[in-house]
Amino acid sequence: MSPATPTHDVIVIGLGGMGSAAAHHLSVRGARVLGLEKFGPVHQRGSSHGGSRVTRQSYFEDPAYVPLLLRAYELYEKLQQDTGRDIATLCGGVMVGRPDGRVVSGARLSAETWGLPHEMLDAREIRRRFPTLTPRDDEVALYEERAGLVRPENTVAAHLQCATRQGADLHFEEPVTRWEPFRGGVRVHTADDTYTAGQLVICPGAWAPGLLADLGVPFTIERQIMYWFQPTGGVGPFLPERHPIYVWEDEAGVQAYGFPSIDGPDLGVKVAFFRKGDVCTPETIDRTVHPHEAAMMADHMSRHIPLLPGRLLKASTCMYTTTPDEHFVITRHPAHPESVTVACGFSGHGFKFVPVVGEIVADLALDGTTGHPIGLFDPARITGPLGPAPAAAPVPGVRT
């Protein structure tokens, strides 16, 4: 097929957390945007659902994330103001564990590196301030007043709303079958039609291994489970003014996280393990939550929050798309740097960055560079400085 004049400025494949934010930021800048999504809007099949996600600035994963978090907080606040949706609740949070554990020591390093307001609490002070929590005597916590939660479904819906308001053309239930570069742009084929654009943005979530095999990054897809328990005695002690968000690392290095009760007594209190998931694919994931899995979660939480695992109300699966070092991939595609931008591999800790990733992706697609610090997210750290061998066009088998 001969080259064609692009009918859009940018095509965005995938309209979950990152793709919806990218569509918003691109359209705000005046780009003619086409968004393509395999499923319906704000669906439950990927990673951008579950009612709540932790947000925090004292970031134990790496201090390099903090500037992006500060910007994400600004953008979340603006999104909430622009749409009137319930997006973020800053109820405070604790990172709990042994002083030399990854969660506590890493959070403290980020807080001290960037001068973030925080307090260090010993076990007695944790119990006094937050009676729902029962740390061991050798455990401590970093308390961050600006920690809290963001709502994934509302965030995606808000970004889609803003993108549509700015003229973006968003297509749902339209899976992509393949894409190919040509001189002057890219061509994207779907089950329904063929489209062209000057730039392509790929935000594939758990579909990254198939969509972006030519990146050379060995993504792992993990099945994760979210649980909602009815606490013994009711949700009163777990309301946001009394109970913080938390990430809790035990003596074996197992991390669990949880939230206050934010959706009323019928939905109780949400908890989950951070990682500790089974390897799967989007096609093979077991969507059934089994009794032994719920029992394992309840047993774990009973040692930290004795009131919590009173009765299981519901449970739901989602997927982490994890890179070998658990850092993100945000880059111009090494094989197609003139026309393709990718954002993927968010490794279970990416949703709090959604609005700033949308801003970064818009920078890369429209300007070819960004002022945000994204060196940590270059896939060359995994694939080597030359990256994977360039893929021949067309690139086959690309699916959403």
| Assigned token pair, 201 | 């943005």
Cβ–Cβ < 8 Å for 257, 246: yes
Residues at the binding site for FAD are 9-39
Rounded Cα–Cα distance for residues 173 and 162 (Å):
20
Question: In this structure, are residues 41 and 154 in contact, taking their beta carbons and an 8 Å threshold?
Answer: no
- For the chain, how many residues are written? 400
Distance from C-alpha of 28 to C-alpha of 159, rounded to nearest angstrom: 11
Which tokens belong to 67? 């500037």
| Degrees to nearest 5, angle at CA 209 with 393 and 46 | 125
The binding site consists of 9-39
Please report the sign of the dihedral spanned by the C-alpha atoms of residue 140, residue 93, residue 319, residue 103. negative
| Alpha carbon distance 46, 281 (integer Å) | 11
Q: Which residue from 1, 4, 12 is spatially nearest to 365, judged by alpha carbons?
A: 12
